[in-house]
Structure formats: C-alpha cells, structure tokens
Structure 1
Amino acid sequence: MKIPKLLFRLCTTVENLFTTALVSMAFYITTPIGITTDTLKLPKGSITNTINHLQNSGVKLSKIDIYLLATLGQPKHGELDIGIGIINRIDFLDKLTTASEAIQIITLIPGETRPIFLEDIAKRYKLDYKRLDSYYNQFSNYKEAGIIPDTYHVPKGIKEEKIISFLVELSEKKYEKLAKKHLKRYDKKEWLKYLTIASIVQKESANSEEMPIVASVVYNRLKIDMALQMDGTLNYGKYSHTKVTPKRIKTDKSGFNTYANKGLPPYPVCSVSIDAIEAAIKPATTKYLYFMRNEDGVHDFTDSYKEHLNNINRVKRARN
C-alpha cells in the first residue's frame, strides 16, 4: 500500500507546485508598470530585441516577458500610442501588439502663407523653423503654395526633413492629377502661373462661388495691361495677417505690390485651395474690371469705374 500513498503525496506536491506557479504567474502578470510618456518608439525586429529596447529605455521588464509577448503576438514598430499612467504588465505587453501608430494632425488653411504655416508647425511640435524652411526650399517646386491646404495625419516624432518631404510629395501628386484633369499635362512653369493667379483669387474672394468671377477680373486687367491693384497681393509671407494701409501701399517696394507694378506677382501669395485653382484655370466670362466688398461681406462687381466709385461710397456711408 506504500505505492498509492507515495503517488498521492507526489500528486499533491505537483498540484501544490502548479498552484503556486499559477498564483505566482497571476501576480507577475498583474504587477503594475508605470508609463511616463503617452507614446513609445519601438524598433523593427524580434521580440527579444523589443524587450531589450524597452529595458534599456527604463521599462522594468524581464526575460519572462519575452515568452509572454510571444504568446500575444508580434510587437509593432514605430511610434505607438500607449497612454500615460499605471497599467498592468499583461495589458502593457498586449498593447505592444495592438496599439495604433501615434499621429499628430497638421492643418494648412487656404490662404495661409508658408512662413506662418511653418512657424506654427515649429512651435506646435517643437521643431526647428529654419530646418523646415530649408527643406521646403529643397523639395518644393514653388516658393509659395508648394503645400496644398488640407488636414494631414503624420506620425508623432517625425523630423523636419520627413515632414516637409511628405507634405510636398503628397501636394505634388494632387497638383499633377489636377493639372492633367484640366490641362492634359503638368508643366511646372505653366502651373506656377495658375497657382499665382489662384493665390490672388484665394486672398480676394469672399467665398468659393465668387472665385471664378474674381479670376475673370484678374484676366481682364492683365489683358488690357491694367495694374491689378489688389490688397491681397500685399498679404504675402510674414504679412499674411497684416492690414493693408495706404502707407503700406506706398512703401512696399516688392514685386507683390500690384498697385506699383503691372502684371502678376513673382510667385504665389499664399496656399491655394482646389476651388481657387480651378477658378484660375476656368474663370467666368465677364467684362468686370472692379469689385468692392459690400455690407453683406460679398463683392459687387462692375466694368464701370463710375459705378465702382458709387459702390465704394455706398459702403463708406453704411459704415458711418
């Protein structure tokens, strides 16, 4: 009868060891891990490489976690959105395999200028403005309007070179598609002219419905060699949000002063929307040479200078 007793003792011992192991493992996987940053940057490679990288980064992991992570799946790589706070070990390891890539949102609004846009990116995401500007000049075909207005999603932690190359490359693809749709070709010199006209349209129009009409005024004035005389062209570069005054018109010596110079500015004034580009390519057919913003915030158009003066005086009376 000794054998059954020994077997019983052996089974009891194994059961106790197994229970102890389960309890120990349960305790281990539920131990908290403090995360002090909402994102983790993981290298591409093996599970062991991932665990070693995290250990070197100060995350308290052990060799056991290599086996635990292997049962959960292959860890992702790149900048991952983990979330700040206390999280238990098994949930943390699971997040390494399921977390989405951490992104930041960059928005360029139509009519904004390159310097203001790049300054905002630099300030918001702690990047170097001079490097952003340098890479823009390196990658873009256009001194202004090389990035099309849109909301962009880019990985967190992206550096100056990659962010500018991404924005410019994506914009170039959209420009090429748009040019081939309307012009059957994408000639950058020709496209520069349309972008320049579109930028004036962007600055001067009250809404997208007005854009083809404003474009017609630009073309009508160019056709008769009449100065454009449009305030919006003086809102170039750092002057994007600066009110255009009579003093500014008299003192600005740049090619963007369309009161002092005939023809188009040397290059686009600002970023341009697709509506503005399409208006520049296909302007309305009109004889208009003048327009004046009225009390309702939209423009009155005319081909008569006398009527234009009447429109100006009517607005002045309404303001007094």
Structure 2
Amino acid sequence: MAIPISPNNTTTKGDFLHALSLSKVVYKDITLIPGETLYFFLRHLAKVFHLKVEDLEQVYNAKALWADGAIVPDTYRFTLGISAQNLMGYLLKHSQEHYQKLSEQLLGNYDPKKWQQTLIIASIIQKEAANAAEMPLIAGVIYNRLKRHMPLQMDGALNYGAYAHSKVTHERIATDNSPYNTYKHKGLPKEPVGSVGLDAIKAALFPAKTPFLYFVKTKGGTHKFSVNYKEHVRAIPKF
C-alpha cells in the first residue's frame, strides 16, 4: 500500500502512522480436527474469514478428489480478506501433496483410487475408536467383516456431513437410506465420512490381525472386542 506524501515531498507523522495501521495484515488461525466433516469445517471457515459457504463449496467441489476427507487435519493460518478461491485452493493443493508424499512414504507409491479406499476405512476408524491404541483393532474388525461379506454395521459411518455430531439412534438407522448406512448396505461407503488423522490412516493400512468381528462400547469409553455374535451379546449387558 502506498503511503501518502505531502506537497513538499515529506511525510507527516500522522500520515505515516495512519498508513502503517492500515498496512498491518491480520491473520487468523483455523483448525480442522480429525473426524470433523467438511460440512462443519466449511461453515467454520466462512465464519472466521467472512466468506460464503457456497463459494467455498464451489471451489472444493471443482478441485477435490473426494466428497469429504480431502483436507488434512491441521491448524492453518490465513489473512483476513483472502478469497474463497485462494483459501480452498491452498488447502486442497497442500493436502493433495501431503497425502501423495505420505502414501509414497508408507507404501512406496501413490494411487489416488487406492488412497481413497484407505481414507474411507480410516474415516470410519476415526469415528469409532476411543483412542489411537484401538484403531488397529477396529481396522481389523472392518477387514474381517469385509472378507466375510458381512455388513459393517458401524454407527460412525452415519456421522457423515451434517450428522457429524448427532447421536445415532435406532430410528436413524432405520430411516437413513444413504450409502453411508452400513447397516443397510454391505461394503464400504463410496466416500470418506470425515477428515482423518495419521493414526487412523496407519491403522487402515496396517490393521491388527485378530479374529474379532464385533465390539461394544464400555462404560469407560473404550471397547470390548468379541470373536462371535454370542460372545458379543453376552458383553452388551455389562456395558
């Protein structure tokens, strides 16, 4: 920004201080936490940076490889006044480069379609696990059920989009006909159900090898894992 000059080519102290105050760039931080959905993150972005959700959605839909989960969870810093195009463009470019590098580090190559499946599984793990230690166990259950052509029947998959923070009820399971309802549809959803952290990604790629097919949440918030349905049913009343 240009600083105003007086007619005699000198800058007054008042003009200088005024120009300096106007030239200060204001930065704002924004954090995407693992498990959060694009629906809520876009609304947070719009509020913090005074943008329109529709503009952010338009850029995301035009550039993102997946309907959700394409942005890496992290804390980002942008200037106030940034455009939706530049903000979302940076997030997607940074995330795509990050995921490609991560895939090459962990797998030795990068295949967008295979990585999408990794993110889908990781996003369900992210929603279901009580902690990082449980993630490989839950990943093992997912793969065991897929191998046996069993429906996943996981509540976390129903915490997609606007339902990210909603309790999954019996009524919701019965009435939700989306591809995210793994009680009604076998296999994986076609898209990630939210953002995913590194621990969930590693669990999806390197699941624990166990015979477990079921798990139930305990009073302490962790999960009890079971090999068969009879054992699972016996565990439910305890928790």
TM-score (norm 2): 0.93
Larger radius of gyration: 1
> Counterpart in 1 of 2:85?
161
Deviations 1:206-246 (Å, cap 9, x if unpaired)? 01111111111111100110100000101111111111111
Who is 1:84 aligned against?
none
Q: Which runs of 4+ in 1 moved over 6 A?
A: none
Aligned residues: 239
2:100 aligned residue (176, 184, 197):
176
Contact 2:3 2:19 (C-alpha < 8 Å) held by counterparts: no
Give the whole-Å Cα distance in 2 for the aligned partners of 1:311 and 1:159: 53
Is residue 134 of structure 1 aligned with residue 37 of structure 2?
no
Alignment match of 1:257 (pick from 166, 170, 181) = 181
The letter of the residue matching 1:62 is S
Deviation digits for residues 116-167 of structure 1, max 9, x if unmatched?
1101211232211111001001111111101011100112210111100011
Superposition map of 1:30-109 within 5 A: 42=1, 50-52=2-4, 62-63=6-7, 67-68=10-11, 89=14, 92=17, 95=20, 101-109=25-33
Residue 151 of structure 1 aligns to a residue whose secondary structure is strand
Structure 1: where are the runs of 5+ without partners?
1-41, 43-49, 53-60, 70-87, 316-320
The CA deviation string for residues 282-308 of structure 1, in whole angstroms up to 9 with x for no partner, is 111111111111111111112122221
User: Structure 2: how far apart are the matches of 1:100 and 1:274?
Assistant: 36
Give the AA of the match of 1:89: G
Q: Deviations over 1:70-102 (max 9, x none)?
A: xxxxxxxxxxxxxxxxxx638727957xx7642
Aligned-pair RMSD on alpha carbons? 2.1
Q: In 1, Cα distance between the equivalents of 2:62 and 2:6?
A: 46
Are 1:292 and 2:216 counterparts? Answer: yes
| Residue in structure 1 matched with residue 232 of structure 2 by the alignment | 308
Retained in 1: the 8 A contact 2:157–2:193? Answer: yes
Work out the CA distance in 2 between the residues paired with 1:91 and 1:217: 65
1:100/1:123 CA distance change after superposition, 3 Å? closer
Aligned letter for 1:245?
A: T
Residue 113 of structure 1 is aligned with which of 28, 31, 37?
Answer: 37
What TM-score, normalized by structure 1, do the two folds share? Answer: 0.70
Structure 1 residue 63: Cα displacement: 4.5
Q: Which amino acid aligns with 2:122?
A: A
How far, CA to CA, are the matches of 2:173 and 2:206 in structure 1?
30
Q: In 2 relative to 1, CA 63–290 (structure 1 residues): closer, same or farther, beyond 3 Å? A: farther
| % identity of equivalent residues | 44
Instruction: Report the Cα distance in structure 2 between the residues aligned to 1:92 and 1:306, rounded to whole angstroms.
Output: 76
Q: Which residue of 2 aligns with 1:241?
A: 165
